[in-house]
A and B are shown apart, each in its own frame.
Chain A
């Protein structure tokens, strides 16, 4: 599904020295590493500043890179225009951020249905799907509430629901549990696992949370921008 070949990204590159954000990242069978496949439930982990969020953003067509190639289902991200990347993000990728990042002016129902609406799903289908996802994530009683009235755990579940609702091929979740207590973290991870299974959505986390580490199928470890174990 996603292949990464020799991707490098620099924070700084001068004649005398260079500072890597990502260094020779490879996630492709040809290079002897496993690519990210359909139904995958894996984790990018490593110490702070190791490049896990950067890698996640690069995979998610959010951030650029300086050399190498990333294939998202045969499309090479580096060769795409900003608009084409936007279309991929809209139609095929779901995002969950550390800081929930809900749209403050929209209520829970509208936030969850937002991407579906952008993609032009009919109203009835959006309503049904929102209810369905909200029930799975146990926020179906909060559909009319504004994000600012919800707890952190609830907000993060809304964010997950938004990412899931439009049935993306992959969800990229950046530190989804960082602002949650352990009980809420555990509950969230359980729900994400069940979505991974029932909806057959690939999920890639970037996190150094133990709860996440324990629940995933595959762990890709990074240090100083390099994959040291996958």
Chain B
């Protein structure tokens, strides 16, 4: 029956070619489209993670919901020594985050001022890599301020200038100091660049009475896929008044937005698939209806309904397999190539900066599992499309079919 199906495919060329092309195009399109969608989501996440948010962060329960000075982590050294013994953690560092007002002679702006450990921060985030002017902080950089490009523009500050800071220390007392702008960074995220600034912890801790305290501890993991298991092993080591959160919770709104974006992507794709499905079905149906007589003869000389079903399934199996076998490696190759050499859309990050897009490049996502289910879906659609033609042809009595026009 297989070789018979093969012969039919070669004999009814136009139907075969149409089915082949449609399957080929839809497979290719689907693989690339999904790779692009997932890729842009992944890159958004990765960029966001790279810039500042950690894959895992540890907070004292209540800091995120209620906040305030009584919710700082108090025993940072002890926790850090525990963290250094857990597998799967690449780097970690603690940060002391506070909000205050930065003022120059004439201008002032609200800003987030964070005490960081410059050496550890180099490995953790892109803060050092995004330096555009001056220099990054060091352990000994004292009252040096490292600030976002858009923030210093707001208050008309230049490298070397002095800027006053007013905020409240960890004991709720009034804290004020004079910083010197030593370095400027630009991550590409407008919100971050227009509000964030950093001071070396060794200096800032004294000002804020924040020794051994932290707003949170941020952690980078070896493999982003293992983030949940690493979280569990951290949680086991720590007291219950600390909460350990992964990026999935920390960036809940971004993750949700991506899910919504995917939903819309799939809604659009579904129209495309319904259309392809119908066209393949129509061509299959037309082909079968022009062969009613032939099937009638075959049934007369002893082909059973099951044989007819097998024949048509073989035909679609061969055609769709051929198309998929050709399209999948091409689609996968495109996805793979562009996952390494991302597509660059000039000016994209400028337009979408409000959405946290910090880079002009969109790498595609190359994921064997995703490609497999894409292919499986197209396969199933192809098989679904012959159900009607099969039931149509098998509804004929053999003798009626031989008399069919």
Contacts and interface: CB of A to CB of B under 8 A. Distances in A.
- Chains A, B in direct contact (C-beta < 8 Å): yes
Interface of A: 57, 60, 62-64, 82-83, 86-87, 89-91, 93-95, 97, 101, 103-106, 110, 114-115, 118-119, 162-163
8 contacts: A83-B305, A83-B306, A86-B303, A89-B302, A90-B302, A105-B8, A118-B302, A162-B301
A64 B398 CA distance: 11
A82 B395 CA distance: 12
Nearest to B8: A105
Contacts of A64: 397
User: Considering residues A62, A90, A95, A106, which has the most beta carbons from chain B within 10 angstroms of its beta carbon?
Assistant: A62
A89 B300 contact: yes
B299 to A, nearest CB: 7
B207 interface: no
Given A86-B299, A89-B300, A89-B301, A97 B8 contact: no
A194 B302 CA distance: 25
B11 A105 contact: yes
A117 B137 CA distance: 83
**Which 6 A-B residue pairings sit nearest by Cβ, starting from the closest?**
A90-B302, A105-B11, A101-B297, A105-B7, A86-B304, A62-B399
Interface string B300-326: 111111110000000000000000000
Contacts of B8: 105
B305 A118 contact: no
A114 B305 CA distance: 16
B302 A106 contact: no
B4 A82 contact: no
B302 to A, nearest CB: 3
Nearest to B9: A105
Contacts of A115: 301-302
A62 B11 contact: no
A63 B304 contact: no
Contacts of A86: 299, 302-305
Given A62-B398, A82-B305, A103 B294 contact: yes
Given A89-B300, A90-B303, A105-B7, 11 more contacts: A60-B300, A87-B302, A87-B304, A90-B302, A97-B402, A101-B293, A103-B294, A104-B294, A105-B12, A115-B302, A162-B301
